[in-house]
């Protein structure tokens, strides 16, 4: 899971769309409170406490929202094909949001969902309130005024199909936006337009990356002939990082004992090892899936082309047997398409 | 009371629309403002005797956006 990209997106766009809008609202409620205090005869300045209250409630609200969206995603995730559809749709949506952020064409503005007016009125009225709890309330209400990037992250949380991942995605995103808010007192002066545009471009590129990988994961899972991996393989420009070792190297070929090909695949938290192997057509394959303290979705092992699905234990060995009959490349992957490898039948 | 539409060029998300509506509706003489991010325009109902187009354009400019009158 590309949580660091989510964090970076929060960090870049947090300086902008979120700060420009929510920061403004927050500043106005702080100002309202200070005006109230001033009337009561105390000239206290309180910037940090309301900002902290705002950030903490916002963080909690988004974690809950992420959990619910992930739960919603997992409800949609009743079969591998519905998961594939969800993954591709969410990815396409994120790409469209990215195209809006990158300002490619005004038509992409239509993908941004505009919150209904009664909700924005509530948010605005809260921001004018001098109430002690107004900043905290405002933090929760920010979920009603999502900017484009937030919407993309919400789609991502749904597509994770897991409430805990959903919570982690939105929590990380909001955490990424916090540094800018903490600097609110220093940064209240308006950011220049050029600066804003550049930041939005960075956020747009990051969202584009998440969107494209999400679509690609769906394609890998659907066993599509066209994925980023196959495109890279068939590209006329090949970057060879193996130091001259050929793919035909015998090391990749599964060993045979008593007419059975034995293959070991080590399941690691960050993927599968090896990621490339060869088996011979027409000879039974015994594939051992070995996991040791693995805590990632790499445990949900799938070979879509052979309709094989195994959910593994964090530590253990599972064996699957099959006989490849058709020459060509077969992809093995986790259920989300995040980790994958290729088994070539020769 | 008149209803007029203005183009707004540099909104970057739907929350900008909310800010513009807010500032306009706080302005004396404006009955309602409804800004649409996707269309990039705002429809304002206001009292012509209290406000001119110019004041409205300036209000939007103060919020941080560029507005142009529309036919």
**Looking at CA atoms only, how far is residue A148 from chain B in angstroms?**
6
Query: Mapping DSSP to helix (H, G, I), strand (E, B) and coil, where does residue A168 land?
Result: helix
CATH number, domain at B29?
3.30.70.100
Total tally of structural domains belonging to chain B: 1
Q: Give the pairing type, strands A285-291 and A300-303.
A: unpaired
Q: What is the distance in angstroms between the CA of the first residue and the CA of the last residue of chain A?
A: 32
Domains, in order of start, for chain A: 3-221 (no CATH), 251-345 (2.60.40.420)
Kindly list the residues of chain B whose beta carbon comes within 8 Å of any beta carbon in chain A. 10, 12-19, 21-22, 34, 36-40, 64
Kindly identify which residue of chain A lies nearest to residue B36, measuring between CA atoms: A114
Q: How far, CA to CA in Å, does B64 sit from each of A87, B19, B43?
A: 37, 9, 17
Which candidate from A16, A112, A120 shows the least CB-CB separation from B21? A120
A200/B21 Cβ within 8 A: no
Q: Do B16 and A124 touch (CB under 8 A)?
A: no
Option in B13, B22, B34 nearest A112 (CB): B13
Three-state DSSP at B67 gives strand
**B14 contacts A115? CB cut-off 8 A:** yes
Domain around B25: 2-69
Q: Length of chain B, please?
A: 71
What ipTM, to 2 d.p.? 0.75
Closest CA to A145 of A19, A42, A287: A19
Residue A241 burial (10 A CB sphere; 0-12, 13-18, 19+): exposed
| Chain B: closest CA distance from residue A296 (Å) | 35
| Sheet containing A328-334: order of strands | A276-279, A340-345, A328-334, A300-303, A308-311
Cα–Cα dist B9/B67, whole Å: 6
The predicted structure's pLDDT at residue A188: 44
Each residue's pLDDT, cut to its tens digit, for chain A (346 residues) gives 578 888 888 887 765 666 767 777 777 777 777 777 777 766 555 567 788 888 899 999 999 999 999 999 888 877 778 878 888 888 898 888 888 888 888 888 888 877 788 888 888 888 877 777 888 888 888 888 777 788 888 988 988 888 999 999 999 999 988 887 776 544 444 555 566 667 778 878 888 888 888 888 888 877 777 777 777 766 666 555 444 444 444 467 878 888 888 888 888 888 888 888 888 888 888 888 888 888 777 888 888 888 888 888 888 888 888 888 888 888 888 877 778 888 888 8
A30 in the Ramachandran plot: left (φ > 0), alpha (ψ -120 to 50) or beta?
Answer: alpha
Residues 109-168 of A with CB under 8 A from B: 109-110, 112-115, 117, 120, 123-124, 145, 147-148
């Amino acid at each position: 899971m590309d949580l660091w990209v989510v964090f970076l997106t929060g960090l870049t766009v947090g300086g902008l769309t979120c700060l420009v809008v929510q920061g403004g609202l927050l500043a106005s409620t702080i100002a309202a409170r200070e005006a109230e205090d001033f009337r009561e005869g105390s000239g206290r300045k309180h910037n940090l406490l309301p900002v902290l209250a705002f950030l903490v409630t916002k963080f909690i609200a988004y974690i809950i929202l992420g959990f619910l969206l992930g739960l919603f995603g997992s409800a949609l995730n009743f079969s591998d094909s519905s998961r594939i559809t969800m993954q591709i749709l969410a990815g396409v949506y994120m790409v469209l949001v990215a195209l809006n952020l990158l300002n490619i064409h005004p038509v992409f503005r239509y993908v941004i969902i505009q919150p209904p007016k009664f909700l924005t009125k509530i948010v605005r009225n809260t921001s004018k309130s001098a109430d002690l709890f107004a900043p905290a309330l405002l933090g929760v209400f920010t979920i009603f005024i999502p900017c484009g990037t937030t919407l993309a992250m919400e789609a991502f949380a749904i597509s994770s199909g897991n409430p805990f991942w959903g919570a982690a995605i939105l929590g990380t995103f909001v955490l990424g936006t916090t540094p800018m808010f903490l600097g609110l007192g220093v940064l209240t002066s308006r950011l220049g337009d050029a600066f804003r545009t550049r930041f939005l471009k960075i956020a747009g590129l990051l969202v584009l990356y998440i969107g494209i990988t999400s679509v690609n994961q769906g394609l890998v899972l659907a066993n599509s002939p066209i994925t980023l991996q196959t495109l890279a393989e068939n590209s006329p420009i090949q970057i060879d990082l193996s130091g001259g070792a050929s793919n035909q190297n015998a090391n990749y070929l599964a060993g045979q004992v008593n007419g059975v090909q034995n293959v070991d695949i080590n399941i690691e938290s960050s993927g599968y090892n090896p990621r490339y192997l060869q088996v011979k057509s027409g000879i039974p394959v015994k594939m051992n899936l070995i996991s040791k303290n693995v805590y990632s979705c790499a445990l949900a092992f799938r070979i879509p082309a052979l309709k094989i699905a195994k959910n593994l234990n964090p530590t253990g060995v599972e064996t699957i047997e099959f006989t490849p009959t058709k020459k060509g490349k077969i992809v093995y992957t986790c259920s989300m398409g995040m980790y994958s490898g290729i088994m070539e039948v020769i | 009371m008149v209803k007029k539409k203005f183009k707004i060029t540099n909104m970057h998300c739907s929350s900008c629309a909310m800010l513009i509506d807010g500032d306009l509706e706080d302005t004396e003489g404006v009955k309602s403002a409804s800004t649409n991010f996707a269309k990039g325009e705002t429809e304002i109902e206001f009292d012509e005797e209290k406000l001119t187009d110019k004041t409205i354009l300036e209000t939007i400019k103060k919020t941080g956006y560029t507005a142009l009158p529309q036919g």
